[in-house]
Structure 1
Amino acid sequence: MFIGDSITDCGRRDVAAPYGDGYMSLVRAFVTAARPELGLSWVNRGVSGDTVRDLAARWQADVLDQRPDWLSVKIGINDVWRFFENRHGEAVPLDEYTETLRTLLATTVEHTGCRLILADPYVIESDRDEPQYAMTRDYAAAVAVLAKDFGALHVPVQAAFDRVLASTTPADWADDRIHPNLAGHAVIARAFLDVIG
């Protein structure tokens, strides 16, 4: 099961049902092609616009009741972005983000025994001093700590974009630094595949 925001959603509730047409669909396709004998079932529970608060509100029905064997969580872009859209009431401070995510993960492991994959939030930005990049880096660092604490697989998505930006521009991967084109989703998918093997 994959859960998150619009980057995971990618039309999975509409024109690209049921998997979306983003990184999750690419990961599914490549893993299925490489290991068809596993007979894996895949579920996408991404919802566009979500923050970690929104995940918490739907966690029981969308995660716990489904009892996944593996759960991939990629959340945090909107938690940060809202600060820069002058939507401060919807932004999620780092301490709240970290503790909410920690609680969700602990509850999930306790109730389902599932394995976890945690992916970084990111912003596709070449300027390391740019304020949204700097804040996003802190949220990604929190994800890395949670991955270590829970023995989860950690997908360093921000680092993956940082690598490709060494020879490209943000516009090569997304029009708005957030919502990737297909090549941008492939960067995310490749980061997943590098980690899950």
Structure 2
Amino acid sequence: MSVPSTVRFRRWVAIGDSFTEGVGDPDPGRPNGVRGWADRAAAVLAAADPDFGYANLAIRGRKLGPILTEQVEPALALEPDLVSVYAGANDVLRPRVDLDAIVGAYDAALGRLGSSGAQLVVFTAYDPGGAPVFGALRGRFATYNELVREVAEARGATLVDFWRMRAYRDQRMWAEDRMHMSSAGHQQMATAFLDALGVAHDLRPLPLEDPVAASGARRRADAAAWLRRDAVPWVHRRLTGRSSGDALSPRWPSYARPEG
């Protein structure tokens, strides 16, 4: 699974939304039916240390406020020495958002988590520049990400800069819903996370199917299917104040050792 790690963490708690829960990387045998980059990275860390424990409190659809309200205190109660946080992208996608306010709350939460002595890892949000629907929000995402970089630097957090990862311009790194990473995308993120921490590993990119040229008619049909299947339900949930994670619980609420 991995080569020995030169950086040792014994207790990792991951908090956030669908990005960290693992949506887009299906695995029916795991809680909530997904695997994700965090499970993939945890398997590497666990292989290097028989005493390693990993908890994942992330739930899809959560905005930054609920993430901080629901997940920070349970994370601290687990006394981790490593905490990863991805939050805020769901806020940025809303029609109106006060970026300074949400990053201010983010900063305060990182201060609380960091005061426990845990190493912090934070992420910028992805670059939606090539996305047909979310591309119009690229400027807002860029501003949010720069604020996150400032907070990470001030708090001494390790930064995984998703925005600058050009590999995600490849649509094969995204799931069918075009909103979440595919299994290959999650594998790439697990690699980026471990590399940012200086953890030795032997993760390799997952194989990608050769791209197939599609006719204009096929592309239009695929776009129409995506609108019906994914985009319209996503918009409807936001208009009605519901979330895809409303009925879900954290996947790993206490320390576990997911297999690779």
Could you say which residue in structure 2 is the equivalent of 1:24? 38
CA contact (8 A) 2:172 2:184 kept: no
* Residue deviations 1:88-134 (CA, integer Å, cap 9, x gap): 4xxx4211121000111112223x2211111112245436x932222
The one of 57, 82, 89 equivalent to 1:70 is: 82
Correspondence for 1:119 among 114, 117, 123: 123
Query: Which runs of structure 2 are paired with 1:92-131 in the superposition (5 Å)?
Result: 92-110=97-115, 112-126=116-130, 130-131=135-136
* Separation (CA, whole Å) in 1 of partners of 2:90 and 2:128: 14
Q: Which sections of structure 1, spanning at least 5 residues, go unmatched?
A: none
How do residues 1-197 of structure 1 correspond to structure 2 at under 5 angstroms?
1-10=13-22, 16-17=30-31, 20-33=34-47, 35-36=48-49, 39-83=51-95, 88=96, 92-110=97-115, 112-126=116-130, 130-160=135-165, 162-165=166-169, 168=170, 170=171, 172-197=173-198
**2:174, 2:71 → 1: CA distance?**
31
Q: Distance in 2 between matches of 1:116 and 1:172?
A: 26
* SS class of match (1:122): coil
Residue 18 of structure 1 deviates from its aligned partner by 8.3
Number of residue equivalences: 181
Give the whole-Å Cα distance in 2 for the aligned partners of 1:163 and 1:41. 30
Gaps of 5+ in 2: 1-12, 199-260
Residue in 1 that maps onto 2:225: none
Percent identity, aligned pairs only? 26
| Amino acid in the other structure paired with 2:122 | L
> Which deviates more, 42-51 or 182-191?
182-191
Cα shift readout 1:55-100 (whole Å, capped 9, x = no counterpart): 22214542222221111001122011223xxxx4xxx421112100
Q: Classify 1:124/1:191 alpha carbon distance in 2 versus 1 (closer, same or farther; 3 Å).
A: farther
Structure 2 distance, partners of 1:172, 1:152, is: 26
Q: In 2, Cα distance between the equivalents of 1:15 and 1:132?
A: 36
Give TM-score, length-normalised by structure 2: 0.62
Deviation at 1:28, TM superposition (A): 1.0
The answer to whether the Cα contact below 8 Å between 1:72 and 1:117 also exists between their aligned partners in 2 is yes
State the Cα deviation string for residues 135-160 of structure 1 (Å, max 9, x = none). Answer: 22222222211111011110111212
Change (3 A) 1:118 1:25: same
RMSD: 2.6
Higher helix share: 1
Give 4+ residue runs of structure 1 displaced > 4 Å after superposition.
Answer: none
